[in-house]
Amino acid sequence: MLYIGVDLGTSAVKLLLMDEKGSVKNIVSKEYPLSFPKPGWSEQNPSDWYKQTIEGIKELILNCEKTQVAGISFGGQMHGLVILDINDQVIRPAILWNDGRTYEECDFLNNVIGKKKLSQYTANIAFAGFTAPKLLWVKKNEPENFGKIDKIMLPKDYIAYMLSGIHSTDVSDASGMLLMDVKNKCWSKEMLEICDIKEQQLPTIYESYEVTGTLKKDVADSLGLSETVKIVAGAGDNAAAAVGTGTVGDGRCNISLGTSGTIFISSSKFGVDKNNALHSFAHADGSYHLMGCMLSAASCNKWWMDEIIGTKDYAKEQECISKLGDNSVYFLPYLMGERSPHNDPSARGTFIGLSMDTSRADMTQAVLEGVAFGIRDSFEVAKSLGIKIERTKICGGGAKSLLWKKIIANVLNIKVDVIESEEGPALGGAILAAVACKEYESVEIAANQLVKVIDTIEPDQEVAKKYEIQYNKFIQIYPTVKDLFKVL
């Protein structure tokens, strides 16, 4: 049988076709626009997601036996606010995960409601990208739109609804809304009251590997597929990527170098970082995970290459970088503000240490290192909780760079396992679809059988020592300039 994984990203939807043995048969990517109406804002039109998803599926299955397609599942950008009216029409453009407009709402939630109460209600505190602050923003700034809300959805769940007609979400994605009681995997009555919404306005919560519905007849007909094709809940992009990299079971780690950057640590038990620097979410395998998320990762390199240097030849720019651990230039990767661990939407990207002998290669290296240092910030929080991490999987667009993987290995001083397929969320979605269709008994069994490590990058202890010194300098920069960001 065949399974489709849909990775609804920030810049494009990636679709993957996999057979029951884990062999990837085809991959298709379709881009759509991203809008920045005001500084710090980030929006998209959900109809663009759906249009490109449908076109992508048609292309994906063009040369396969369509009767063999059994299930479709998802990985998707988290936290985005999609609101529908009583006729299930989109009320306004989706407010995305990397949107920083909710500073006042986060301040209200964290300092008036209080971080302690939020953590009790949801296992997390408010971050600018989370969904609940966005709802409060709409209520305050667009009361007419707020009054029209009949359904509140997340990005990938809107696609699932358009395919199946069912309003659903999954535990991992819902964890990032600041509306769910993560420990008990149900909507938090206290948060619904705070946000002035009713439970019937929210979708039904499923485990990531559960079937939520089947293809609607009109959609099935347009795709040339059967109405019996199962629609499976899926997962937030990071949990889906964790499935796609085999980061399931207790104590495993995955680093994602996508538009955002994350460090993801799976756990069989529910737990909360006492300072809430890491997110405590439900995992797609039925258990839990801790996650640190930086808002700009591979997008920092894309910005530097595309907009500043003006090149698409990323590999060529990295060819002359060889002296790891010796760079005197530092880069704060906060182009869209920052989440973990600073929770500061006012933070911005910063180069420091420039001199007359600074080269283009030095600055390119600093961008890559700045992202690695940002990931290490969350890594250090995990270590402070007594979590011992000796190796990690890696995925995302940035993981295609051998240099960047070497930098990550040495900055964190851990082994980096490279897997056969770096398709992350799309592969994870396809695996979840296969589990839902009973090809495998559990997500963990499926991931262990289907995900293969093909290489391991080990840290060089001399380079790691140099990066230890550099990291201890890096962590002094943000506290020093923090107050300037608000002034600027």
The C-alpha atoms of residue 300 and residue 372 are separated, in whole angstroms, by 11
Has 19 been annotated as catalytic? no
- Pick the catalytic residue: 7, 157, 181, 237? 237
Annotate 407-459 with DSSP letters as a single string. Answer: HHHHHHTSEEEEES---THHHHHHHHHHHHTTSSS-HHHHHHHH--EEEEEPP
Residue 322 burial (CB count, 10 A): 10
Q: Are 186 and 136 in contact (CB under 8 A)?
A: no
The C-alpha atoms of residue 230 and residue 228 are separated, in whole angstroms, by 6
**In this structure, which amino acid lies at residue 419?**
I
Is 79 annotated in a binding site? The answer is yes
The C-alpha atoms of residue 32 and residue 48 are separated, in whole angstroms, by 6
**Orientation of helix 237-244 relative to helix 443-450, angle to 10°:** 50
Minimal CA–CA distance to 155: which of 72, 247, 234? 234
Q: Distance from CA of residue 255 to its chain's centroid?
A: 11
3-class secondary-structure state, position 376 = helix
Encoding tokens for residue 247?
A: 């980061």
Rg (Cα) of the chain, in Å, rounded?
21
Binding-site residues sit at 78-79
Which residues are known catalytic residues?
237
